[in-house]
């Protein structure tokens, strides 16, 4: 088949999926879908189109066995709007093509991210990179909200004043905070998108980037439903066991104690959703 047209994807082209307070994800374009992955894989075997069941089985087989190149035949282009601190994490993913709005050419808009109360939490005690699962109390949340909002307002006033004084836009912007929204076009193939999603859908990723990753995944599912189903089956909802964890699991299956202690035991039980003893 020359050109993949997926009705579910066509229906959402250009539609804005809101994320956080001012952000969005829009699918601008896509190239290929599940059928392209299958065709690309079958071109190597020289065999033609098979039934839906066989195609689905093939996609699961490819993903399960790290046959990654057929997934690279599918490309998605997004228009994204997100706070700069999220964009800084985003651009660490080097295997995409990106064009961002320039604060040297354009006057930046007065749009800043303000977390909702539920997401204002204290520093986590056991995760140096993360926030606690418990929201801070309402009084503290209100105070944080006020502090962030008044700083954002002040920063933008200074920026506007510098612009009005005729100062170059590239200089006027230098004190704008990381909560300011930016926009970019982002194009990535499905293999690398899955790598991005594996990292950024994970519970260890910051809530704000996770919110965008979840929306991206929802959109990707419209373009490649079978590949996304296989990704959930073999990647996000699967676990990787170390050598000693595999041995511990074998002991458990034989009805013996795991033979792990302390943090190693805790990690193992968490991976298997066994909870604490």
Ligand X SMILES: Cc1cc2nc3c(=O)[nH]c(=O)nc-3n(C[C@H](O)[C@H](O)[C@H](O)COP(=O)(O)OP(=O)(O)OC[C@H]3O[C@@H](n4cnc5c(N)ncnc54)[C@H](O)[C@@H]3O)c2cc1C
Point out the residues that are catalytic. Answer: 200
Nearest distance from residue 105's CB to ligand X, in Å?
A: 27
Nearest distance from residue 92's CB to ligand X, in Å?
A: 4
Q: Does 95 engage in binding with ligand X (CB under 6 A)?
A: yes
Select from 22, 145, 195, 271 the one that contacts ligand X (CB under 6 A): 195
Q: Does 69 engage in binding with ligand X (CB under 6 A)?
A: no
CA distances from 46 to 38, 41, 43, 55 (A): 12, 9, 5, 15
| Secondary structure class of 41 (helix, strand, coil) | helix
Q: Does 238 engage in binding with ligand X (CB under 6 A)?
A: no
Closer residue to ligand X, CB minimum distance, 211 or 265 = 211
Cβ atoms within 10 Å, residue 24 = 19
Closer residue to ligand X, CB minimum distance, 206 or 221 = 206
Q: Which stretch binds ligand X (CB under 6 A): 8-16, 42-50, 98-106, 199-207?
A: 199-207
CA distances from 31 to 5, 70, 193, 218 (A): 9, 13, 14, 17
Scan for tokens 């996000």, then name that residue.
Answer: 236
Closer residue to ligand X, CB minimum distance, 169 or 195 = 195
Q: Does 53 engage in binding with ligand X (CB under 6 A)?
A: no
DSSP 121-141: EEEPSS-TTSEEEEEPPHHHH
Nearest distance from residue 201's CB to ligand X, in Å?
A: 10
| Cα 68 to Cα 71: distance, rounded to the nearest angstrom | 6
Q: Does 58 engage in binding with ligand X (CB under 6 A)?
A: no
| Cα 225 to Cα 206: distance, rounded to the nearest angstrom | 26
| Cα 78 to Cα 85: distance, rounded to the nearest angstrom | 19
Binding site for ligand X (CB under 6 A): 92-95, 192, 195, 199, 204-205
């Amino acid at each position: 088949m020359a050109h993949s047209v997926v009705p579910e994807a066509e229906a959402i082209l250009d539609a804005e999926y809101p994320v956080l307070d001012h952000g969005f994800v829009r699918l601008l374009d896509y190239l290929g879908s599940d059928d392209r992955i299958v065709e690309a894989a079958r071109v190597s075997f020289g065999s033609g189109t098979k039934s839906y069941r066989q195609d689905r089985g093939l996609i699961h087989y490819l993903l399960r066995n790290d046959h990654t190149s057929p997934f690279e035949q599918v490309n998605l282009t997004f228009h994204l709007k997100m706070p700069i601190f999220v964009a800084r994490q985003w651009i660490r993913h080097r295997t995409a093509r990106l064009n961002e709005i320039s604060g040297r050419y354009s006057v930046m808009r007065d749009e800043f991210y303000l977390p909702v109360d539920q997401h204002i939490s204290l520093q986590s005690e056991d995760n140096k990179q993360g926030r606690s699962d418990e929201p801070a109390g309402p009084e503290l949340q209100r105070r944080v909200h006020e502090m962030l909002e008044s700083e954002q307002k002040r920063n933008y006033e200074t920026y506007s004043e510098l612009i009005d004084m005729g100062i170059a836009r590239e200089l006027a912007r230098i004190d704008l905070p990381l909560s300011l929204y930016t926009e970019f076009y982002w194009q990535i193939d499905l293999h690398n998108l899955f790598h991005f999603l594996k990292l950024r859908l994970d519970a260890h990723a910051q809530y704000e980037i996770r919110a965008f990753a979840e929306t991206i995944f929802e959109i990707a599912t419209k373009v490649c439903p079978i590949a996304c189903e296989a990704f959930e089956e073999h990647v996000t909802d699967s676990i990787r066991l170390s050598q000693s964890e595999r041995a511990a699991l074998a002991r458990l299956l034989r009805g013996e104690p795991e033979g792990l202690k302390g943090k190693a035991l805790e990690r193992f039980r968490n991976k298997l959703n066994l909870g604490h003893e």
